Amino acid sequence: MDLNIFYNRYKTLKKIGEGGLGTVFLAEDLWSDKKLALKLLNSSSVSDSFGRFSQKEFKLLQNLKHPGLPEVYDFFITEDKKVGYTMELVPGEPFLEEKKVLDLKTFYSIAAQICQVLDFIHAHKIIHCDLKPQNFLILPTAKSKTESHFGIKLVDFGLASSQLEKNKNVKGTLGYIAPEILKGEGFDQRADLYSLGVIFYQALTGKLPFDYADPALMMAAQLEQKPLSPLKHNSKIPAELSELILKLLEINPESRISKISFVQATLEKLSKFKPKETYFSDYLDSGKPVGLAKPLRFFRQNLKDSQVNLCIISGEKGVGKTTLLGEMKFLAQTAGYLAIEIKAGQKKSLAENLLESVKTIYNFLQEKHPRKLSELEQEIKSGLRETFGSGKGKATKINSSHDLTFWVSFLSKVSDLVPLTLLIDDIDFFEPEELRFVKTNSYQAASNSFFVVATCTPQYLEEKTPVSIFLKRHIELEKAHLVTLNRLNFKQTRKFVATKLPPGKPSPEFSTYLYQFSNGNPLYLQEILQFLHNQKILHRAEGNWQVAVDKLSKVPIPPNLKSWLSFGLSQYNPEILNILRKASVLEDNFELESFRFISNLDLEQIFETLYVFLRDQILLAKKDSWGVKIKYQFANQALKQILYEQVPHKPDLHSKIGSFYEKRNCPQTPEGVLALAFHFSKSADYKKSFQYSQQAAENLAQKFAFAQALQHLEACLGLAQKFPAKEKTAKTALILAQRAAVRKSMGELNLSLEDLNQILKLDLDSGLIRLKAETYKGLTDLYRLKNSPQEAISYLNLALKIYQELGDEVEIARNYNNLGNIYWMALDYPKSEEAFKKAIKIQEKLKNPGDLATTLNNIGSLYLSQNQYHQALSFYHRSLELKRNLDNLEEKARTLNNIGVVNMALGKYQEAIVSLNESWELNKKTENKKEELFNLENLTESYFKTGKFFLALNFGEVGLKLAQEIDFKARLGRIQRLLGKTYLDLAAYTKAQEFLRQAWKTATSIGDKELETWMLLDLSQFYLALNQPSLAKDYLAQAYSRLKELEDPKSQIQAYLIETNLALQEKNYKKGLAYIQEASQMAQKNNFSEDRIALNLSWGFILLESRNFSELEKRLKETEALFETGDFGYFQPEFYLLKGKIYLEQKNLDEALGFLNTAAEEAQQLQKKELMWLSHFYSGKTFLAKNDYENSYLELEKAVEVLRDIATEISNPDFKKRYLNEPAKLELFTVMKKLAAVLIGKTELVKSDKPAV
């Protein structure tokens, strides 16, 4: 026998390709006589990196099904432990011959298909990493006129990576590799797009963008040069296509086209040719399996320790048994087993399925192990001769169960030489007689290298055949292992859909719909997805799957799904079916009593019936949120619909159930109201339908279930028309007002306005005058939200007039409070103050503590906005005293947060932290996550400003998670900024840049101009710290353009402070002084104590450089006085550093050392590394001035250690180089080297060597 036979099945015929990782052969499948390709890895061990690459490549292709990708078949390990696999033979040629230029029509046709393949693999988060013309094969049939055929295949996925991996390995083909891969940096799908640009360039010009024989020159060109425009080589190329190619070839991936969908859209526009729509069925057939981890873990372990030789996989149709069998096959193959698959429904008996594999193994034994075969012939000579006769390998047809049992016994006996696993799919469909071998002990008595795995339905195990009885008994005795595959849960369903519709995740609404109609059955899920795609409700656009969620409720049940579900019902008798139909009238999550009422069964019958429905997973049971009551619902909403359609007299039945619920006190609970609304809305009782639907809408709105609330309100508007005229007007107005409130909460302000204006058009008589006033108040609030204060004031005055006519002082006071808020928004502070004080006067007279506390809080905020902190604090404390006696924890928490904010503004951070923590605890109790987020943001800033950076980071991380959880991007950006600033102060520059960039991205995504301005200033400060003044100036210039719109003094002061530090770096002290003086005036005017300290310190360093000691003394005294007004320990190290430098400059060296030592200690405590190294540096200079070389060296060494720590954390090499090239650091390194030479006696330090003090 030819020794070039692998896996006891595949015979190599000739070599057809070879690469760095492996060799590809033309091979023949001896079991089927088909030609295929066999790839053998150039590896000496299955466990080395090549072996792992091979497994990865095989699994990747196994999980991707597309006409533009090759199909893989079997993975195998040779006797000498080399690995390989078989795959589809692709009879194609590379689509580009050397120096050939494609005409535009051919190019567009091929490029469109290349893009479709890349779109498919990129959607599945796969990066090919070796795109080149040789790996795109044009199929012979592509030249035919059959438009339906896909004419190209992308091959060789040996270097492919997942986007989820952190890829940094250099791989690919020189000339096509993206620059970021060449540099060893991380990369994503844009690396493939670069390679695509090279291929397009080559296809249209006959040249590579860079073509050097020397690899070093080629790499240098790719990393540094821009290619010539393709138009320079081929004038027939459209300018837009040439521009597209150059955008694909951008060196910086940030500047490169990022999505293949953009390339597709451009090519489609230029070619005026729309390629065939996405192969949707291929998406459904692709993706990693979901929900199989546990059984696969067992099987992997069983291959190692052989706990059992028989494994039964049980599960309903479509639950994934065949998929699991395929995964088990791969695991067996990677462990070195020969996997023999036997599938039902192939018009072959079980015995016939075994014939070819047995014949090949027999031949293998003759060639490699004749002695073993001789031993077997002595034992089972008659059986061998009966099947094979006397000729070598001339097998006759196996046709009896006796033969099958014999050959399973034969396989078990040779499994120590050929490790085997027998995989039988759907044993339900084989004749019982064929499965007699299962009852024999031959395979169970075999070595640890023979396993049988079979799949069946749960019903098969319940049957009374000898085989099923035997299997059930063996499972009970743990001689066989049973794997029960259940339907996917909701989380797994969502993951399953994500694998079928990559790259995004399905929305919660879409996931819920799919789960309700499939109950997690993968087959049903795929059928529904296919149906939705056919109905154009699910489609692919711009590289993502899009779903018309609003149309889902009107989608009929897919015909195949309806047929499968209806067939499943046929197993039940008419009586059971009738009970199921009645149950379908019930709402979801119904109770036992409801089921008993509708079915009219006694308790024993109820439990018997429920057992059947739960066993067959027709119904699901779960406990309520309190874990007390058990509730039931249909597992599959499609099945419920089918049954409901068959129910006669539905309105009467719903009315009957509604009346039953009323007697059971259902109106007392939100869930009960929902059930009543559901049933009466389907009955003829419009009054009760209106009553309960209106209540349900109110309850749902309180739970933020706005979409459901609107559905009930829409129904109410229709029902209101059935009432008599007067009632009709009142009820219509009521529902319009309620809908306006819901729409306002959803942010749909214009729709809310429409509803309120519609109320004013109704005939509102004197009995509804208060409703008119409430409508005016509603309009006021909407115009406030729309930032239209004049309209808001106008409507509020109309409401106020009505309340004054009614003599309603409570509402009059509330209107004055609202007026105060509107005038405040309009920046009319005197009128705002006047209105608030009017409200306070009335509320004090009425002794209305709740409303009074609110107004006091509002006027406090008015004073805070004007930087009148002490007045604000006074009103906030008065508000808090009132609220402490009330039960409204949310208002109490809000006021405590406001007190914290005022203390932060006053620099009293310790007091702020106390208030903020108390507010946070209250908000956690009330589960007010939005207010919690404000607390966490303020606590992060407070700890940051007190120098407790690690506490700031802890609270910031908690806030970050919460902001992402509730999708509150405005606060998310601010917390990202605070984390960036904290890391900046810790000199952790890489982390600082990461968070600052995240904050910038968040700010731009929501158009937050204020945050954008802050971020530009922070980024300017960041680059200034890294000694990159040009970048700092760029960001500062961008900030100035936004500052014109903001009128924010704090941001303006920050900008001037950066200007001052830039001037200090440039030694332009006059310019710096001008900025600092302007900023100081602004800070003093606005009572910004903290900014005044920061400015005074910068001012001090300028005055020190210009030796203006008298003015410097004033600045120091003012700073010391400001320190007394708040918790400003954050600035202490810099203050002591400044004083130390002053005494050093004045030659008062002992005093200088004292202050510099304190600065170093304070900086060490706060972990402000920049101030740490500077303090040690100047201490070293001071010791040097005292000729104390040893202590000078020790201090300078400490400074270098700190700098080394900082530099180590800077991941960008260019940033690190620029950072360390700053003059003071270069001076430090120079002096230290000279001192080292002095200390070891190599030289003396002359006066000129000493640094300037």
Report the CATH number at residue 195. Answer: 1.10.510.10
Per-residue pLDDT of 1036-1065, as tens digits, reads 999 998 888 777 888 999 999 999 999 988
| 1159-1162 LR contacts (CB < 8 Å, sep 24+) | 1159/1133, 1159/1134, 1160/1133, 1160/1198, 1162/1129, 1162/1132, 1162/1133, 1162/1136
C-beta separation of 54 from 6 below 8 A: no
How much is the average pLDDT of 889-895?
A: 87
How many percent of the chain have pLDDT more than 90? Answer: 53
**H-assigned helices in 519-649:** 522-534, 559-569, 574-583, 592-599, 603-615, 637-645
Core vs surface per residue 943-977: b (16+ CB within 10 A) or e? bbbbbbbebbbebbebbbebbeeeebbebbbbbbb
For residue 254, is it within any domain?
Answer: yes
For residue 794, is it within any domain?
Answer: no
Phi, psi of 360 (to 5 degrees): -65, -40
Core vs surface per residue 1225-1245: b (16+ CB within 10 A) or e? beebeebbebbeebeeeeeeb
Indicate if 346 and 461 belong to the same structural domain: yes
pLDDT at site 883: 83
| Lowest pLDDT segment from 43-57, 512-526, 960-974, 1132-1146 | 43-57
pLDDT at site 55: 83
pLDDT at site 393: 42
pLDDT at site 723: 94
Strand partners, 622: 631
Last residue of a domain, one of 569, 585, 614: 569
Per-residue pLDDT of 249-302, as tens digits, reads 999 988 899 999 999 999 999 988 776 666 789 999 999 999 999 999 989 888
C-beta separation of 230 from 201 below 8 A: yes
C-beta separation of 348 from 356 below 8 A: no
Per-residue pLDDT of 350-378, as tens digits, reads 666 666 667 667 766 776 777 777 776 65
| Lowest pLDDT segment from 8-22, 110-124, 1028-1042, 1116-1130 | 8-22
Q: Record the tokens describing residue 1235, joined without a space.
A: 């001192």
Per-residue pLDDT of 703-761, as tens digits, reads 888 989 999 999 999 999 999 988 999 999 999 999 999 998 888 889 999 999 999 99
pLDDT at 45 over 50: no
For residue 598, is it within any domain?
Answer: no
For residue 676, is it within any domain?
Answer: no
For residue 976, is it within any domain?
Answer: yes
For residue 114, is it within any domain?
Answer: yes
Q: Record the tokens describing residue 1090, joined without a space.
A: 């903290």
Which of 493, 634, 622, 652 is CA-nearest to residue 569? 634
C-beta separation of 54 from 45 below 8 A: no
Per-residue pLDDT of 19-31, as tens digits, reads 667 789 999 988 7
Indicate if 445 and 501 belong to the same structural domain: no
| Lowest pLDDT segment from 50-64, 488-502, 557-571 | 50-64
Q: Which residue has the higher pLDDT, 585 or 403?
A: 585
How much is the average pLDDT of 414-421?
A: 80
∠ CA 1048-1052-1057, rounded to 5°: 150
Q: Record the tokens describing residue 966, joined without a space.
A: 């509730």
Give CA–CA dist 449/297, Å, rounded: 18
Question: Whole-model pTM?
Answer: 0.64
Q: Which residue has the higher pLDDT, 617 or 51?
A: 617
Strand partners, 1118: none
Which of 63, 49, 46, 56 is CA-nearest to residue 20? 49
Structural domain including 510 reads 490-569
Helix (H, G, I), strand (E, B) or coil at 1253: coil
C-beta separation of 416 from 274 below 8 A: no
Per-residue pLDDT of 1144-1177, as tens digits, reads 999 999 999 999 999 999 999 989 999 999 999 9
Indicate if 469 and 525 belong to the same structural domain: no
How much is the average pLDDT of 671-678?
A: 93
- 146 band by pLDDT with thresholds 50, 70 and 90: very low
Give CA–CA dist 424/455, Å, rounded: 7
Which of 498, 50, 506, 119 is CA-nearest to residue 288? 498
Total number of domains in the chain: 5
Give CA–CA dist 1142/356, Å, rounded: 94
Q: Helices (H) and strands (E) in the chain — how many of each? A: 54, 21
Indicate if 243 and 344 belong to the same structural domain: no
pLDDT at 902 over 60: yes
- The residue assigned the tokens 């400060």 is 1021
How much is the average pLDDT of 1199-1215?
A: 89
pLDDT at 178 over 50: yes
Phi-psi region of 393 (alpha: psi -120 to 50; beta: other; left: phi over 0): left
Helix (H) / strand (E) containing 29: strand 22-29
How much is the average pLDDT of 833-844?
A: 95
Per-residue pLDDT of 316-332, as tens digits, reads 999 999 999 999 999 99
pLDDT at 401 over 60: no
Strand partners, 1107: none
Indicate if 266 and 213 belong to the same structural domain: yes
pLDDT at site 1252: 45
- Mean pLDDT of the chain, nearest integer: 87
Q: What is the DSSP string of 991-1003?
A: HHHHHHHHHHHHH
For residue 343, is it within any domain?
Answer: yes
pLDDT at site 144: 46
Q: Which residue has the higher pLDDT, 875 or 387?
A: 875
| Lowest pLDDT segment from 509-523, 529-543, 611-625 | 611-625
Last residue of a domain, one of 455, 486, 517: 486
Give CA–CA dist 547/536, Å, rounded: 9
Core vs surface per residue 1150-1166: b (16+ CB within 10 A) or e? ebbbebbbbbbebbbeb
Phi, psi of 1097 (to 5 degrees): -65, -45
- The residue assigned the tokens 């203050």 is 1135
Distance of CA 939 to the CA centre of its chain: 27
Indicate if 248 and 132 belong to the same structural domain: yes
- 394 band by pLDDT with thresholds 50, 70 and 90: very low
Q: Is the previous residue joined to 558 through a cis bond, with omega within 30 degrees of 0?
A: no
CATH at residue 1016? 1.25.40.10
Indicate if 270 and 354 belong to the same structural domain: no
Indicate if 448 and 497 belong to the same structural domain: no
Q: Record the tokens describing residue 294, joined without a space.
A: 């546990």
**H-assigned helices in 519-573:** 522-534, 559-569
In degrees to the nearest 10, what's the CA dihedral of 360, 361, 364, 370? Answer: -130
How much is the average pLDDT of 630-634?
A: 92
Indicate if 457 and 516 belong to the same structural domain: no
C-beta separation of 364 from 356 below 8 A: no
How much is the average pLDDT of 839-861?
A: 92
Q: What is the DSSP letter of 140?
A: G
C-beta separation of 728 from 720 below 8 A: yes
Last residue of a domain, one of 227, 246, 276: 276
How much is the average pLDDT of 401-430?
A: 76
pLDDT at 409 over 90: no
Indicate if 435 and 476 belong to the same structural domain: yes
pLDDT at 831 over 50: yes
Query: How many CB atoms neighbour CB 124 within 10 A?
Result: 20
Q: Which residue has the higher pLDDT, 867 or 981?
A: 981
Indicate if 218 and 256 belong to the same structural domain: yes
Give CA–CA dist 284/514, Å, rounded: 14
For residue 947, is it within any domain?
Answer: yes
Indicate if 389 and 406 belong to the same structural domain: yes
